[in-house]
Amino acid sequence: MARPKIALIGAGQIGGTLAHLAAMKELGDVVLFDIAEGIPEGKALDIAESGPAEGFDAKMKGTSDYADIAGADVCIVTAGVPRKPGMSRDDLLGINLKVMKSVGEGIKAHAPNAFVICITNPLDAMVWALQKFSDLPAEKVCGMAGVLDSARFRHFLSLEFGVSMRDVSAFVLGGHGDTMVPLARYSTVAGIPLPDLVKMGWTTQEKLDAIIQRTRDGGAEIVGLLKTGSAFYAPATSAIEMAEAYLKDQKRVLPCAAHVDSAFGLKNLYVGVPAVIGAGGIERVIDIKLNKDEQAMFDKSVDAVKGLVDACKEIDSSLA
Ligand code: APR
């Protein structure tokens, strides 16, 4: 059987890391696409030359021609600009919306059967626009945010508790922005919910609140340190987890920006929700019951996403 084909649209910091991870995990043959001359070819060759020492079998190709993504099984989109210190993800909207238009058209023409994972920010609005521009089925287009946000939450919790990150599971809902909703009640250490761990004296409510805020600010913390770009290792790893769930029909339950059309009382919106990813793409959105406080936080986050979607419609009338 032929190896799956993975097209990476954007060969910058995240795109290059995605290519390296996909090769090392032997998820399939990789095509790196970018408009920057020489960059996709250079990165593809460099990664291919790591193959003999690492011992993987995967073809690597760099290109600036959309025809080379033909028949891709998975497309992961990072094309666009990242933020700089002082910028919010929302500040990227105008520039990256134009990029989503060209990427969506490229995918529509050459890889209409792909499972598409968008990483470009502002995430929830960009994945919404990408689905519109590409015209792919909504269940085949999603965004990577929740896996990353919950990984950050899990990392901080594991440091606080002094336990393995593997035994910490965490739940983050809502938009990928300042209004994201880390859900303490559904986050656990080996099944013990965080509120119980507070009662057991493992941490205090104040410390937990600080960890939740650090999770919300997780992207900005890295931008502040790097100064010239945004996070790329953890975002790439998170998207690879989603791609692998699709390619191997793993039915993973992962938080991601999925098309929601009845769950959570929402209509036709992309926002971070728990979802099952398997061979059908986003196979199911899990409609969990929120308590009053959680619902209020989720509503605020949904409003922020709706505001960005409306801004997209104003910029590009074909989306209205
Ligand atoms: N088509 C294809 N590639 C494009 C286009 C386009 N229209 N416009 C820009 N690019 C490419 C750039 O040439 C660059 O190589 O997208 C790449 C982006 O890479 P980086 O600038 O290194 O950004 P990165 O850190 O990878 O982040 C990409 O993901 O997390 C988000 O906020 C982040 O929106 C940003 C995106």
Per residue in 88-136, pLDDT (tens digit) is 888 899 999 999 999 999 999 999 999 999 999 999 999 999 999 999 9
Q: Check the annotation: does 131 bind a ligand.
A: no
Helix (H) or strand (E) holding 7: strand 5-9
Is the minimum distance from the CB of 131 to ligand 1 under 6 angstroms? no
Q: Which atom of ligand 1 is nearest to the CA of 11?
A: 15
Residues 152 and 124 in one domain: no
112 neighbors 75 (Cβ within 8 angstroms): no
Residue 88: its pLDDT value, please? 84
Task: Report residue 238 as tokens.
Answer: 């998170």
Cα–Cα dist 112/109, whole Å? 7
Does residue 66 have a pLDDT over 90? yes
Does residue 87 have a pLDDT over 90? no
Residues 94 and 233 in one domain: no
Domain assignment of residue 317, yes or no: no
Residue 51: its pLDDT value, please? 97
Q: Which amino acid is at 101?
A: K
Tell me the three state secondary structure of residue 203: coil
Q: Check the annotation: does 280 bind a ligand.
A: no
Per residue in 154-210, pLDDT (tens digit) is 999 999 999 999 999 998 999 988 889 989 999 999 999 999 999 999 999 999 999
Residues 151 and 121 in one domain: no
Residue 320: its pLDDT value, please? 87
Largest Cα–Cα distance in the chain?
58
Residues 112 and 159 in one domain: no
Domain assignment of residue 54, yes or no: yes
Residues 199 and 302 in one domain: yes
Is the minimum distance from the CB of 42 to ligand 1 under 6 angstroms? no
Where is pLDDT greater, at 291 or 86? Answer: 291
Nearest to 60 by CA among 13, 103, 8, 119: 8
> Phi, psi (5° rounding) for residue 145?
-150, -50
- What is the share, in percent, of the chain residues with pLDDT greater than 70? 100
Q: Which atom of ligand 1 is nearest to the CA of 126?
A: 34
Which residue's alpha carbon is nearest to atom 29 within ligand 1?
120
Residue 257: its pLDDT value, please? 97
Per residue in 255-304, pLDDT (tens digit) is 999 999 999 999 999 999 999 999 999 999 999 999 999 999 999 999 99
User: Active site residue: 20, 110, 155, 176, which one?
Assistant: 176
Residue 86: its pLDDT value, please? 85
Task: Report residue 156 as tokens.
Answer: 């901080």
Is the minimum distance from the CB of 99 to ligand 1 under 6 angstroms? yes
Cα–Cα dist 164/211, whole Å? 17
Is the minimum distance from the CB of 100 to ligand 1 under 6 angstroms? no
What is the residue range of 156's domain?
A: 146-310
Calculate how far, in angstroms, residue 12's C-alpha sits from the geometric centre of ligand 1.
Answer: 6
Per residue in 8-51, pLDDT (tens digit) is 999 999 999 999 999 999 999 999 999 999 999 999 999 999 99
Domain assignment of residue 320, yes or no: no
Q: Which of 68, 81, 103 to mutate to test the pocket of ligand 1 (most atoms within 8 A of CB)?
A: 81
Is the minimum distance from the CB of 17 to ligand 1 under 6 angstroms? no
Q: Check the annotation: does 167 bind a ligand.
A: no
Residues 299 and 176 in one domain: yes
Residue 85: its pLDDT value, please? 86
Residue 81 Cα distances to 20, 125, 263, angstroms:
21, 15, 32
Domain assignment of residue 100, yes or no: yes
198 neighbors 205 (Cβ within 8 angstroms): yes
Calculate how far, in angstroms, residue 296's C-alpha sits from the geometric centre of ligand 1.
Answer: 33
Tell me the three state secondary structure of residue 281: strand
Domain assignment of residue 214, yes or no: yes
Does residue 82 have a pLDDT over 90? no
Domain assignment of residue 15, yes or no: yes
Q: Which of 144, 172, 189 is the last residue of a domain?
A: 144
Is the minimum distance from the CB of 235 to ligand 1 under 6 angstroms? yes
Calculate how far, in angstroms, residue 166's C-alpha sits from the geometric centre of ligand 1.
Answer: 31
> Phi, psi (5° rounding) for residue 143?
-125, 145
Residue 39: its pLDDT value, please? 98
Is the minimum distance from the CB of 240 to ligand 1 under 6 angstroms? no
Q: Which amino acid is at 275?
A: A
Calculate how far, in angstroms, residue 190's C-alpha sits from the geometric centre of ligand 1.
Answer: 37
176 counts as catalytic: yes
Tell me the three state secondary structure of residue 139: helix
Q: What is the CATH number of the domain that holds 35?
A: 3.40.50.720
Tell me the three state secondary structure of residue 267: coil
Residue 263: its pLDDT value, please? 95
Residue 83: its pLDDT value, please? 84
Q: Check the annotation: does 185 bind a ligand.
A: no
Q: Check the annotation: does 250 bind a ligand.
A: no
Please name the residue that has the structure tokens 């009338």: 317
Domain assignment of residue 77, yes or no: yes
Residues 218 and 296 in one domain: yes
Is the minimum distance from the CB of 77 to ligand 1 under 6 angstroms? no
Cα–Cα dist 144/121, whole Å? 10
Tally of structural domains, the chain = 2
Which residue's alpha carbon is nearest to atom 31 within ligand 1?
120
Residues 264 and 214 in one domain: yes
Cα–Cα dist 200/197, whole Å? 5
Residue 101: its pLDDT value, please? 97
Residue 290: its pLDDT value, please? 93
| 0.90 exceeded by pTM | yes
Q: Which amino acid is at 126?
A: M
Name the DSSP letter for residue 227.
S
Residues 292 and 151 in one domain: yes
Task: Report residue 279 as tokens.
Answer: 């061979």
